[in-house]
Amino acid sequence: MVEIKSYKRISLYVLVIFIILVLISVFFSLPPYKYLGNGYVYHSEYYYITGNTKEEHIPPNVIKYKNSSQYVTAMQVPLRNIYQLHLPDEFDSLTYVLDMDTTYYWIIEKQKHIVYGPLLWEEYVSKCDDLSIKLSQRVK
C-alpha cells in the first residue's frame, strides 16, 4: 500500500514538472512579432512597426498601440541609440519637431497604406477626428 502511494506521488511530481517545462518552452518560443493585418507587423523585440514599404513604418520606441481592421494608432518616444540596434535604414531619415524626449503619435491607414506621423498630441487628435477614428481605437 505504501509503495502505491509513493508511486502515485512520484508520478504526480513528474507530471507537474513536465507541465512546467512545456509552459516554459511555449513561452520562450513565442515569436518576437505580432501580425497587425494588411502587411503590418509589430516587432516586440525592438518595439517598432513595419509595413509593406520603406515608408510604412513607426520606428522604436513604440510604447503603446491599438489595432483595428482599418487603423493602427501608436504612441512613441524615439530612441536616442537607434543606430546601435541594427534596424532598417529608413528609421534614420526621420526628423522630429521637438526633441527625442517628446512623446509622438502615429496613425496608419492600413487599407490605403498611409502613415501619419510623427504627430504631436494636438495634431494626432485632429487627424483622428478627420479620419473618424473612434475614441476606443485611439491610444491615450
Q: What region does 132 belong to: left with phi over 0, alpha with psi -120 to 50, or beta?
A: left
Assess whether pLDDT exceeds 60 at residue 93: no
- With 0.75 as the threshold, say if the pTM is over it: no
Look at the chain and report how many structural domains it folds into: 2
For 26, the domain range is 1-30
Q: Report pLDDT digits (tens) over 43-79.
A: 988 899 999 887 788 988 899 999 999 999 999 998 7
Q: Are residues 84 and 44 in the same domain?
A: yes
pLDDT-above-90 percentage for the chain: 42
Q: What is the mean pLDDT of residues 111-127?
A: 94
Average confidence score pLDDT of the chain: 82
Confidence grade of residue 90 (pLDDT, cut at 50, 70, 90): low
Beta sheet of 71-76, edge-to-edge order: 62-67, 71-76, 104-109, 114-119
Q: Are residues 49 and 118 in the same domain?
A: yes
Confidence grade of residue 16 (pLDDT, cut at 50, 70, 90): confident
Q: Are residues 22 and 86 in the same domain?
A: no
